[in-house]
Amino acid sequence: MNPLFGEFIGTALLVLLGNGVVANVLLSNTKGHNSGLIVIAFGWAMAVFVGVFSVAAISGAHLNPAVTVALAVAGKFEWARVPGYVLSQMLGGMMGALLVWVMYRKHYETTDCADLKLATFCTGPAIRSLPGNLLSEVLATFVLVFAILSMVAPKMSLGAMDALPVALLVLGIGVSLGGTTGYAMSPARDLAPRIMHALLPIPGKGSSDWGYAWVPVVGSLLGGTLAALTYTHL
C-alpha cells in the first residue's frame, strides 16, 4: 500500500472510532449516552491503537500533522514528504467524520443541543479563554510528541502490541489534560472534522465555531515543534 493511502486509512480509522465514542456518549438515545469522560478517553486511546497498528508498517502511522511536522523538525522525516502526509491525514480525518455522521445520523436528528452535535466533530473549550486554551493545546501536544520521540522500540517486536504505548499515552493525556479543551492535539482530528460539520446537512447544527478553530491547529503544531526542538537539544 502507498504510504499516503496508509495515512489516509489510519487517520480515517482514528477519527471514526475517536469521534464515534464522543457521539455515543453525547448524542441522545444512544446505548452509551452520558457515560462520561472516562469512556471518551478510553475510546480515543483505543482509536489510536487501532489506527496505529493498522498502518504502522505502511506509513509509520503518524496520523497527525503535528507529529509529521515534529518528526521533520527532529530530522527523523523528510520535509519533502510532509505536504503529502498532511494532506492524506486531513482527508482521512474528513472521511472518518463523515462515517461517524452516517453511523449516528438518526441520533443527530433527535439531539436538540447544537453544541453537543459540534462536540462530536471537533473540540471546544470548557472555559473560553483563548490564551489559556492555546496553552492547554500546546502542553498536551508537547507531552504527546515528546513521549513519542522518547519511545524506544523493543528488540523483539510485539507486533500489533507495539501500538499499545502510544494508546496508553493518549489515555493518560486524556484523563489528565483533557478537561480544559478536549485535547485535540491534531489538525486532522479537529480542523478536518470541523470542515465536515460545516458541510454536512445536520439538522439544527448551529455554528462550526470558526473563531476558535485556529487554537487547536496552532497549539498542536506549536506544541509538537517545541517538543521536537527540546528532544533534539537534550
pLDDT number for residue 161: 57
With cut-offs at 50, 70 and 90, classify the pLDDT of residue 48.
Answer: very high
Please tell me the class of the 3-233 domain: mainly alpha
Asked if residue 217 has pLDDT above 60, the reply is yes
Of 5, 19, 4, 3, which Cα lies nearest the Cα of 186?
A: 19
Displacement of CA 139 from its chain's centroid (Å): 15
**pLDDT tens column, 95-142:** 999 999 999 999 999 999 999 999 999 999 999 999 999 999 999 999
pLDDT number for residue 157: 44
Q: Tell me the torsion sign for CA atoms 32, 100, 8, 192.
A: negative
Q: How does the average pLDDT of the chain come out, rounded? A: 94
What's the pTM? Answer: 0.95
- Within 10 angstroms of residue 110's Cβ, the number of other Cβ atoms is 11
With cut-offs at 50, 70 and 90, classify the pLDDT of residue 163.
Answer: confident
**pLDDT tens column, 91-100:** 999 999 999 9
Determine the average pLDDT of the residues in 150-172: 72
**CA atoms in the 13 A half-sphere facing the CB of 164:** 7
pLDDT number for residue 194: 98
- Within 10 angstroms of residue 41's Cβ, the number of other Cβ atoms is 20
Q: Where are the domains of the chain?
A: 3-233
Question: In the chain, what percentage of residues exceed pLDDT 70?
Answer: 96
Task: Show the CA angle centred on residue 54, arms to residues 119 and 70, nearest 5°.
Answer: 70
**pLDDT tens column, 181-200:** 999 999 999 999 999 999 99
Asked if residue 162 has pLDDT above 90, the reply is no
DSSP 11: H
Asked if residue 160 has pLDDT above 60, the reply is no
